Amino acid sequence: MALARRLPLVSDRPAAKAGLRSERTLWPDRGPGVFEQELESIEDALMTTTVEKAVAWAQSGSMWPDTFGLACCAIEMMSIVSSRYDIARFGMERFSSSPRQADLLIISGRMTHKMAAPARQVYDQMLEPKWVIAMGACASSGGMFNNYTVLQGVDKIFPVDIHVPGCPPRPEALMEGIIRLHEKMRAGVPPAYEIRGVAE
Amino acid sequence: MTPTGVPGVAETLEAHGETTLVVDPARIVETCTYLRDAEGFNVLVDVSGVDYLGWGGSGVAGYIGTEAGRDLHAPGSQGFQRVPADKPKRFAVVYHLLRVADAPGRVRVTAWLDDGDEIDSVVGVWPAADWFEREVFDMFGITFRGHPYLVRILMPEDWEGHPLRKDYPVGGEPVRFSGEE
Amino acid sequence: MAVMPAQRIYEGTRIPSPCPTILRIDPSEHDLDDILTINFGPNHPSTHGVLRLIVDLDGEHVAGIEAVIGYLHTGFEKTMETKTYWKGITYPERIDYLSFQANELVFVLAIEKLLDLETPEKATWMRMCLSELNRLHSHLVWLGTSALEMGAISMFWYAFRERDMVLDLFEMVTGVRMHTRYFQVGGLAEDIPEGFYAEARAFARHMPKAVDDYEAILDRNKIWLERTKGIGLLSAEDALALGQSGPMLRASGVDWDLRKNMPYLAYDQVDFDVPVYPNGDVYDRYKVHMDEMRTSARIVAQCVTRLEEMRGDRWIADDRKVVLPPREELHTSMESLIHHFKIVTEGYRVPEGEVYVAIESARGECGCYLVSDGGPKPWRVKFRAPSLAALQATATCVRGAAVADLIAVAASLDPVMGDVDR
């Protein structure tokens, strides 16, 4: 895990050093808020966009999810590929079965203890940067199953960026989760494994 | 419709339009072979296990109906429930059979076992029994003699304990509420 | 019922009984140096969920196969023993998550059988209508994903277009797309909204044209025929011996459908055909699924016609010991309040006994074996999973087949891992 990043981290706060005073809250205001406006004016003044923003734009523009459908939520995950909910607008219709080519792991469905080992293996095989969405109640917290065999939340084995509630979440709800993930990325929030660390 | 003259049957019960044959576990293969060949029950639908540990301990009183049953036309009727009768042994292995023919029929075969008892596998009679018996073994710990590959099927291979037994806890974690200490 | 004679395409390829559920390499037939063991791991491109197949390949042919399941074992049966019957109805839906209402229905029917409770006719017909819509939903997802796996990728979008229409109907009636929890002991949870009849009728008119579209793409497609004809053969005797039911059995020539042979709900009052095909290969299973889609659309149209006549009727039984009283009564009647309280907190008590109820879900015979000890929670619930029986037949169907055929056969068996593992 010792790839030294040469790009300045968010914590270097280049925008703050350039005079930014407001803060970004991810919600409730979905529209451009004070933060975005200040940032834009600073960038206009400096006539640059930071490299991280460009990289984040590229990463969020075509994240490839991994086919990790487990149970009922997988059916709703498949339906975001269908023509009504069309995830191809976001460049994400290419579900990659090989974790080595995937950016996003959407855990859709209940994770059992028996499945936890292969799931962790898939997560480890993904290359950085990688994001995880825990889709549905079962992946987020064990859902309605609080028993000997269901893992109570998939964030016990790897760090999760976005939890999408629902049983199963509507395709629109999953897309909302994906779009919030894109917003997080573009706002410069690093993937969850950098914030929370990964247990070995 | 009720099969008669079936070898190994200790008693025949009828309830809710269904026939249950209580069978001596030592003669289960003989009984099943007879039911398949002579009575025409060619499909084994299901093999389940039931654990009756603690049966009848949950009390008697209820506002449901009279002992004979409930009368839908007298919805305010009160009375006491039947006390559940004691079961002969702890475990029951229940086979559901189906006759796919012009005159369809179903029958249930029950074999009573104690903890640690073994029973012969009916894989030779219906190959469908294979995974069903593995599941009963996995969930209850009942060993089927003569099964070609009796290993755990649903739980991981190194799991200890048999989950569907009544003395095995449901497990899971206590739910933590935000704001509590 | 007639067991149709096996046709010429089938001779010489019968798997000798006993029908194997695991294939082991026979050292006399295969040189052990040539064997490559591959793990089709729990996470794989085929969209059936977490099934693991350990396959021994001799060149490209399958010499040994073992299916490892249990990666989705959720402990439904143990968990349901701790929930009252009313709360427990949410659980069976998640077992076979493609034909969710079938599981719900079988559990509710089992409780009603033990309670000796009669449901009003409107509820029976609506349950039938929703079960058929659910069968359509399941077959559409099957078609989309199986064709996707075998390379006919564009079928996925066509099938899911109709699937979204079915889910719109569910949402209109129940408020949720999947896992609707609309069936209650005694009938339905709520009345049927007025707009449903017109929409359902329009859908039932549209569906056969959609099936025509799918068949136009696949039926005489050379690649599809090469990949499905003569693959994955299962004879009628083997199918019965392996406990198959549903489309698997009907594609092998056995004319058996619980809706016709052992009718439940009001299936003896609707007019429909049961498709049976003789060859027992993947192509026939595909044809059975397509014909069943047409049949379901027909049944839905008939149900809607009958339901329109019953507008304004009761949708749930009147037995206040089991069914919640209407909310307006809670303000005026003390008894209703007490009943409501007891039913919600303690749960209604189901008389002691054991019962087995089976229905024809999209995958075959879905059954519920319910043992009650007279209390408010079930003592033992066992769901008979049609997918478990279907998956057992994998080894018998793929002996000697190539790897690509293995994918086609696994797709045609229609296993849903939630159903297999429960």
Q: What is the mean pLDDT of residues C253-275?
A: 89
Q: Is A32 a member of any domain? A: no
CB contact under 8 A, A75 and C178: yes
Which of A77-81, C184-188, C347-351 bottoms out in mean pLDDT, i.e. has the lowest? C347-351
Rounded CA gap, C251 and C287, in Å? Answer: 8
Candidates A101, A115, A138, A152, partner chain C, best to mutate (most C CBs within 10 A): A115
Decide if C97 and A72 are in contact by the 8 Å CB cutoff. yes
CB contact (8 A) between residue A78 and residue C47:
yes
Q: How far is A108 from chain C (nearest CA, A)?
A: 10
Residue pLDDT, tens place only, C306-351: 999 888 888 888 877 888 888 888 888 888 888 888 888 888 888 8
3-class state of residue C42 by DSSP: coil
Whether residue C365 lies within 8 A of chain B, CB to CB, comes out as yes
Domain contains A114: yes
Whose CA is closest to C36, among C66, C59, C3?
Answer: C59
Query: What percent of chain A is predicted at pLDDT more than 90?
Result: 8
Domain ranges in chain B? 55-86
CA angle (C170, C210, C133) in 5-degree steps: 25
Q: Is A145 on the interface with B (CB under 8 A)?
A: yes
Q: Which of A56-65, B78-87, C38-47, C91-100 has the lowest mean pLDDT?
A: B78-87
Instruction: Name which of B69, B127, B168 is nearest C18 (Cβ-Cβ).
Output: B127
Residues 6+ apart with CB under 8 A from C36: C56, C57, C58
- Non-local (6+) Cβ contacts of C268 within 8 A are none
Would an 8 Å CB–CB cutoff place C181 in contact with chain A?
no
Average pLDDT over residues C58-69: 83
pLDDT for C70 equals 87
Query: Does residue A27 fall inside a structural domain?
Result: no
Query: CB atoms < 10 A from the CB of C15, how many?
Result: 18
Q: Which residue has the higher pLDDT, C334 or A25?
A: C334
**Contact status of C320 with chain A (Cβ, < 8 Å):** no
Span of C81-95, C262-276, C316-330 with lowest mean pLDDT = C316-330
Nearest to B154 among C73, C320, C352 (CB): C73
Which chain A residue is nearest to residue C43, measuring alpha carbons?
A: A68
Contacts of A83 in chain C (CB under 8 A): 157, 160-161
Strand, coil or helix: C264 = coil
Chain B nearest CA to C389, separation (Å)? 7
Chain C hits for B163, CB-CB cut-off 8 Å, are 75, 78
Domain presence at residue A67:
yes
Contacts of B156 in chain A (CB under 8 A): 113-114
Q: Examine residue A87 and state whether it is found in any structural domain, yes or no.
A: yes
Q: Which domains does chain C have, with CATH numbers?
A: 76-421 (1.10.645.10)
Closest CB to A69: pick one of C49, C70, C90.
C49
CA angle C137, C361, C201 (to 5 degrees): 45
**Could B63 and C342 be called an inter-chain contact, meaning their C-beta atoms sit closer than 8 Å?**
yes
Q: Identity (one letter) of the amino acid at C36?
A: L
Q: Is A16 inside a domain boundary?
A: no
What's residue B65's pLDDT? 45
- Contact at 8 Å (CB) between B51 and B165? yes
Residue given tokens 């968990």 in the structure block: C79
Q: Indicate whether C393 pLDDT > 80.
A: yes
A168 prior amide bond cis, ω within 30: yes
Please give the mean pLDDT across all residues of chain C: 85
Which residues in chain B touch residue C375, judged by CB atoms under 8 angstroms apart? 58-59
Chain C residues whose CB is inside 8 A of the B51 CB are 380
- Strand locations in C296-422 (E): 353-361, 364-372, 380-384
Q: Which residues of A touch C42 (CB under 8 A)?
A: 115, 118
Q: What is the pLDDT of residue B111?
A: 92
Diameter of chain B measured on Cα atoms: 67
Cβ contact C116–B69 (<8 Å): yes
Which SS3 state, helix, strand or coil, does residue C144 take? Answer: helix
């894109």: which residue's tokens?
Answer: A182
Are β-strands B91-99 and B43-51 bridged in parallel, bridged antiparallel, or unpaired? antiparallel
Residues 57-86 of chain A with CB under 8 A from chain B are none
pLDDT given for residue C19 in this prediction = 56
Answer whether residue A110 is part of any domain.
Answer: yes
Contacts of A144 in chain B (CB under 8 A): none
Q: Check residue C252 and give its pLDDT.
A: 87
Would an 8 Å CB–CB cutoff place C374 in contact with chain B?
A: yes
- Residue C204 binned pLDDT confidence (cut-offs 50, 70, 90): very high
Test the C interface: residue of B36, B41, B45 with most C CBs within 10 Å: B45
Q: Report, in angstroms and rounded to the nearest whole number, the Rg of chain B calculated over CA atoms.
A: 20
Q: Does the CA dihedral B141-B142-B148-B153 come out positive or negative?
A: negative
Q: Do C161 and A82 touch (CB under 8 A)?
A: yes
Question: What's the pLDDT band for C126 if we cut at 50, 70, 90?
Answer: very high
The mean pLDDT of A149-167, rounded to a whole number, is 88
User: Three-state SS across C63-102?
Assistant: EEEEEECCCCCCCHHHHHCCCCHHHHCHHHHCCCCCCHHH
CB atoms B171 and A142 under 8 Å:
no
Say whether pLDDT at C21 is over 80.
no
Residue C246, pLDDT > 60, answer yes
Q: Does A116 touch chain B (CB under 8 A)?
A: no
**A190 in any annotated domain:** yes
Least confident of A3-12, C179-188, C399-408: A3-12
Task: Name the pLDDT band for C46 (thresholds 50, 70, 90).
Answer: low
Lowest mean pLDDT segment, chosen from A48-57, B105-114, C149-158, C383-392: A48-57
Give the nearest chain B residue to C74 (CA atoms).
Answer: B154
Question: Which residues are within 8 A (CB) of A69 and not within 5 positions of it... i.e. 6 or more apart?
Answer: A75, A77, A78, A108, A109, C47, C49
- Mutation target vs C (from A111, A126, A149, A174; most C CBs, 10 A cutoff): A149
DSSP state letter for C21: S
Distances (CA, A) of B31 to B5, B132, C389: 10, 18, 23
**A54 or C295, which is more confident?**
C295
Average pLDDT over residues A137-152: 88
Segment 149-168 of chain A within 8 Å of chain C by CB? 149-150, 167-168
CB contact under 8 A, C77 and B164: yes
Q: Do C164 and A82 touch (CB under 8 A)?
A: yes
| pLDDT band (50, 70, 90) for residue B60 | very low
What total of structural domains would you count in chain A? 1
Range with lowest mean pLDDT among B75-79, B129-133, B153-157, C316-320:
B75-79
d(CA C191, CA A26): 41
Residue C257 has pLDDT above 80, yes or no: yes
Going by DSSP bridges, is the β-strand pair C183-184/C187-188 parallel, antiparallel, or unpaired?
antiparallel
Give the three-state DSSP class for C27: coil
Q: Which residue from C214, C52, C220 is spatially nearest to C140, judged by alpha carbons?
A: C214
* Least confident piece of the model among A6-10, B90-94, C1-5, C34-38: C1-5
Confidence of residue A92 (pLDDT cuts 50, 70, 90): confident
pLDDT for position A16: 60
Q: How confident is the model at residue A199 (pLDDT cuts 50, 70, 90)?
A: low
H-only helix segments in chain B:
28-37, 129-140
Predicted local confidence at residue C23, as pLDDT: 66
Q: Indicate the pTM of the whole model.
A: 0.85
Q: Do B16 and C261 touch (CB under 8 A)?
A: no
Residue in B50, B130, B170 closest to C78 by CB: B170
Residue A166 belongs to what domain range?
63-195
> Is the per-residue pLDDT at B82 higher than 70?
no
